[in-house]
Amino acid sequence: MSSATYAGADVEVDAEGFLTDPGQWNEQIAAEIAAQAGIEQLTDRHWQVVRFMRDRYLSTGSAPSIRTLGKASGVPIKELYELFPKGPAKLAAKIGGIPKPRGCI
Amino acid sequence: MSTQQQATTGQGTPPEPISKVSIIVSKGSLEGIYPALIMGNGARMEGIEANLFFTFFGLDAINAAKHEHVKVATVGNPGLHLATWAGGVPGISALVTHRLAAEMEKLDIPPIPEFVEMIADSGAGIYACKASVDLFSLSREDFIPQVEDIITVGEFYGLAAGGQIIFT
């Protein structure tokens, strides 16, 4: 565990840069993590996915699978991969300030 | 020379991440098909480019008439810890498959037809092996629409260029 500075705030992150305390997150941090991952502008569709991931994690204690993400977030699988080419679940979790999803699906 | 190279690598230059995989699916049983689908889907989830090449009985996973009816092999499958004679009892394969499918649903693992569609939607290429398609007298119409093409082994190697090949 180490710390990183996003949008002027010091936050605790794991070795891959995922926030370890979702409480330290805010929208400016999200935008900066997204930019570092190659997403210059977070659109409403990006936000829809990021918020869904974050809300699910905060209410259930685990991040949803890519199947659930495709079915319940309102953004279908094809579009998920267009929005987050480097892996929708992983990247949306990182941008949403929650730990890296551990599921295989 | 080679020792020196090894020493340099050993000193902590991290290995190149995998950027592309081509997965061959050759088995037609449930337990033969799922690992390949999980690896293919998992590759895309990590942003890794993926192609799936279905050959021999693996074709059942993309055969529109058969992909809903893929079953666990209960005969000659020591992993089930069933008496050999019990594996052959009529209906046992359907029963074991049904039980396993229910467990998978709990883990949010989709049934094979939905899983293949999901993988295709994630941008992975789905291909059928020409030799097997010819062998079983099949044609394009027998397959699900997600199948991009029926290709030869040579074309498969062309597609797999620059990546890792995984045979299942």
Per-residue pLDDT tens for A72-83?
A: 999 999 999 999
Return mean pLDDT, chain B.
Answer: 93
The confidence band for B11, taking pLDDT boundaries of 50, 70 and 90, is low
Sequence-distant (≥ 6) Cβ neighbours of residue B167 within 8 angstroms = B24, B26
What domain range is A54 assigned to? Answer: 2-95
- A60 pLDDT more than 70: yes
Pairs of residues, one from chain A and one from chain B, whose beta carbons lie less than 8 Å apart: 46
Give the bridge partners for A2, in sequence order. A13
Answer yes or no: do A87 and B44 touch at CB < 8 A: yes
Question: pTM for the full model?
Answer: 0.90
Residues of B in contact with A88 (CB under 8 A): 45
* CB-CB contact of B74 with B80 (8 Å): yes
Task: Give tens-digit pLDDT for A7-20.
Answer: 888 899 999 999 99
ipTM here: 0.92
- Whether A67 sits inside 8 A of B108 (CB atoms) is yes
- Nearest chain A residue to B110, by CA: A67
Number of domains in chain B: 1
- Residue B12 included in any domain: no
Question: Which CATH number fits the domain that encloses residue B126?
Answer: 3.40.1260.10
- Please state, for a pLDDT cut of 90, what percent of chain A lies above it: 85
Cβ distance of A90 and B46 shorter than 8 Å: yes
CATH number where A69 lies = 1.10.10.370
Q: What per-residue confidence (pLDDT) applies to B2?
A: 45
d(CA A69, CA A6): 26
In a domain, A101, yes or no: no
Overall number of domains in chain A: 1
For B38, counting Cβ atoms within 10 Å of its Cβ (0-12 exposed, 13-18 middle, 19+ buried), the class is: middle
Q: How many CA atoms lie within 13 A of A90 on its CB side?
A: 17
Q: Is B76 exposed, middle or buried (0-12, 13-18, 19+ CB in 10 A)?
A: exposed
Residues in chain A within 8 Å Cβ distance of B107:
105
